[in-house]
C-alpha cells in the first residue's frame, strides 16, 4: 500500500513525496484512513514505528478547510516533554510546505509573552505540555471550546510523569464535539480507563504487543561491581570496544549521575554531552541538535530522552543503570534500531539490579543474552555496614555515627580541658594528692520581716 491509498489530500501527498517517503508503516497504514474519516483512534505500537506521522498527516488534510480564530486553537496536541513537543512541530513544518497552517508551541522554559502573541493571532495547531497549557488557560489567554481534533501522544509517559489528572481536566475543558486520536506504546489499566471516559466508539489499532522490543535491536547484558568507578570503567570499555559504534545514548536513572558520568567521559577524552530535566530549554535543545548532527558522539541522558525522540540513526544504547520501571527499558532501547536499521543495546548490571532485570525479562517475554558471567546476588551486602542510596535522586544515606555519650573515656581529653581547674579529669596527680583548705563558714542569714 502507498500513501496515495490512505485518503490524504494532494498537498499532503506532495509533501510526503518531497520528504522521500513512499510506503507507510503499519501504524500509519491502519490509523490514517480512520483518522481522515473523523473516527476516534487508539493506536498502540512500539516506539520508532512512525506514530507521529500517523496523526500529523491526517490532521493536515482535515485542516485545509476552515480558519483559526484568536485564542481558540482548532487542534490540540498534548505531549509529555518539551523535546517531543518540539519534534512534532518539526513534523508540521516538514509536511506543511504546501499549506499555510499556523502552529504554536506551548512549553516551559520559553517566555509567556511570545506564546501569548501567537495565541492572540490565532493558531490552527497548538502543541503543548499539560502544565504550560493550563497556565495559559488560567491566565485567561486561551480558550479550548473551539478544538476540533485532540491528540494525546505518549499516553503511558503521561502516566509515569503524573500528568493524568491534568489530561482529564483538559479533556473536560474541551466542550465542542471533537475527534480524539490517542497514541501510546503500552496500555496500563489507568490509560485504558482514560480512553473509556473520553473517547467515543474508538477504532483500536495494535500493530505489536504492548511492551515488546523491536527485532532490529540486539540486546545484551554485562556484569559490573557496585562501585561507581567500576561501572564507569565497564562503560568506557564498551564504548571503545564497539566495532560499529557511530553514536550512542547512555541512560542513567538519576539526574545527578548524568552530570557526574558526563564529566567523567569528557575527562577521559570522549566527545560527550548531557541531557536531563534540570537543564534550561535552550541548552537542552542545543545539546540534542548537536547530537542529531553528529557533533556529539555520546549523549548521557536521563529518561527525558527515552520517549519518542526521533533520532533515526543511533547505533548503540547503553543502560548505565538498570531502569527501575520495566517499561522504561522498552523505551530506552527503542532509541536504536529505528526505521529498519539495526542497533545494539547493552545494559550494565550489578547484583543489586537482578530483581529489576527479572521484571524486565518477564515484561518483554525473553531472556537477554549475557556478555559476561551473571553476577551473584548477595542479600547480606547491605547488612555489613555499607552505605545505601535513596531512590530516584535522594541523598546518600550513611551509617549513623555513635553518640558522644557512648564514647570511651579515653577519647574525652578535649571535654576535660573545657571544664577548667575544677574538673576532676583536668587535675594533676600532685594537685589531687594535696588536701583541700577548709571552707570559711557562711554568715548566718538575717531573719525575714513578716509579710503584710
Q: Where are the domains of the chain?
A: 3-206, 217-378
Query: CA 210, CA 199: separation in Å to the nearest integer?
Result: 20
Alpha-carbon distance values, 400 to 210, 385, 397, 403 (Å): 45, 10, 9, 9
pLDDT score recorded for residue 106: 96
Give the Cβ contact number of residue 90 at 10 Å: 11
Which pLDDT belongs to residue 215? Answer: 86
CA 182 to each of CA 54, 165, 212, 314, 383: distance values in angstroms, whole numbers, following the listed order? 11, 16, 19, 27, 47
> How are beta strands 388-389 and 396-397 bridged, if at all?
antiparallel
What are the backbone angles phi and psi of residue 222, rounded to the nearest 5°? -145, 140
Pairing type for strands 248-251 and 298-301 reads parallel
Distance CA 301, CA 306 (A): 8
Does domain 3-206 match CATH 3.40.50.10470?
A: no
- The pLDDT of residue 313 is 86
Q: Hunting for cell 532485570 — which residue is that?
A: 357
pLDDT in tens, the chain (452 residues): 899 999 999 999 999 999 888 889 999 999 999 999 999 999 998 766 788 999 999 999 999 988 889 999 999 999 998 889 999 999 999 999 999 999 999 998 888 999 999 999 999 999 999 999 999 999 999 999 999 999 999 998 898 889 999 999 999 999 999 999 999 887 888 999 999 999 999 999 998 666 678 888 999 999 999 899 999 999 999 999 998 999 999 999 999 999 999 999 999 999 999 998 888 878 888 998 899 899 999 999 998 887 757 777 899 999 999 999 888 898 899 889 887 789 999 999 999 999 999 999 998 899 999 999 999 877 666 555 444 443 333 333 333 333 333 333 333 333 333 333 333 333 333 333 444 445 555 555 555 555 65
Cα 78 from chain centroid? 16
Q: pTM of this prediction?
A: 0.69
CA distances from 32 to 205, 217, 313, 373 (A): 11, 27, 25, 47
Q: What is the pLDDT, as a whole number, of residue 427?
A: 37
Considering only the top CATH level, what class is 217-378?
alpha beta
Amino acid at each position: 500500500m502507498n500513501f496515495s491509498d490512505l485518503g490524504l489530500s494532494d498537498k499532503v501527498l506532495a509533501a510526503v513525496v518531497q520528504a522521500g517517503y513512499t510506503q507507510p508503516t503499519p501504524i500509519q497504514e491502519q490509523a490514517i484512513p480512520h483518522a481522515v474519516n473523523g473516527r476516534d483512534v487508539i493506536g498502540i505500537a512500539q516506539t520508532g514505528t512512525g506514530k507521529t506521522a500517523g496523526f500529523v498527516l491526517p490532521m493536515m488534510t482535515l485542516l485545509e478547510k476552515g480558519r483559526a480564530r484568536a485564542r481558540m486553537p482548532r487542534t490540540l496536541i498534548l505531549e509529555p516533554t518539551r523535546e517531543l513537543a518540539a519534534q512534532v512541530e518539526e513534523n508540521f513544518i516538514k509536511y506543511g510546505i504546501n499549506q499555510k497552517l499556523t502552529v504554536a508551541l506551548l512549553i516551559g522554559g520559553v517566555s509567556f509573552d511570545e506564546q501569548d502573541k501567537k495565541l492572540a493571532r490565532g493558531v490552527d495547531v497548538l502543541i503543548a505540555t499539560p502544565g504550560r497549557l493550563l497556565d495559559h488557560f488560567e491566565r485567561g489567554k486561551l480558550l479550548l471550546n473551539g478544538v476540533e481534533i485532540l491528540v494525546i501522544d505518549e499516553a503511558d509517559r503521561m502516566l509515569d510523569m503524573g500528568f493524568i489528572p491534568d489530561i482529564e481536566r483538559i479533556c473536560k475543558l474541551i466542550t465542542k464535539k471533537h475527534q480524539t486520536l490517542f497514541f501510546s506504546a503500552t496500555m496500563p489499566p489507568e490509560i485504558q480507563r482514560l480512553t473509556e471516559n473520553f473517547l467515543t466508539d474508538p477504532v483500536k489499532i495494535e500493530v505489536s504487543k504492548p511492551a515488546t522490543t523491536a527485532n532490529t535491536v540486539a540486546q545484551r547484558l554485562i556484569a559490573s561491581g557496585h562501585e561507581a568507578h567500576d561501572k564507569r570503567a565497564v562503560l568506557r570499555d564498551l564504548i571503545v570496544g564497539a566495532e560499529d559504534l557511530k553514536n550512542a545514548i547512555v541512560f542513567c536513572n538519576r539526574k545527578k549521575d548524568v552530570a557526574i558520568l558526563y564529566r567523567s567521559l569528557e575527562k577521559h577524552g570522549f566527545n560527550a554531552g548531557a541531557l536531563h530535566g534540570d537543564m534550561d530549554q535552550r541548552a537542552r535543545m542545543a545539546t540534542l541538535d548537536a547530537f542529531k548532527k553528529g557533533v556529539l558522539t555520546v549523549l548521557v541522558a536521563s529518561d527525558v530522552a527515552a520517549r519518542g525522540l526521533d533520532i533515526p540513526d543511533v547505533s548503540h544504547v547503553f543502560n548505565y543503570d538498570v531502569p527501575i520501571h520495566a517499561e522504561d527499558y522498552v523505551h530506552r532501547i527503542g532509541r536504536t534500531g529505528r526505521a529498519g536499521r539495526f542497533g545494539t543495546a547493552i545494559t550494565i548490571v550489578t547484583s543489586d539490579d537482578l530483581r529489576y532485570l527479572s521484571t524486565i525479562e518477564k515484561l518483554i517475554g525473553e531472556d537477554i543474552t549475557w556478555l559476561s558471567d551473571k553476577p551473584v546476588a548477595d542479600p547480606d551486602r547491605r547488612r555489613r555496614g555499607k552505605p545505601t542510596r535513596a531512590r530516584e535522586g535522594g541523598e546518600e544515606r550513611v551509617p549513623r555515627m555513635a553518640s558522644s555519650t557512648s564514647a570511651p573515656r579515653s577519647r574525652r581529653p578535649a571535654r576535660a580541658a573545657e571544664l577548667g581547674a575544677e574538673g576532676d579529669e583536668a587535675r594533676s596527680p600532685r594537685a589531687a594528692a594535696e588536701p583541700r583548705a577548709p571552707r570559711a563558714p557562711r554568715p548566718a542569714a538575717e531573719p525575714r520581716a513578716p509579710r503584710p
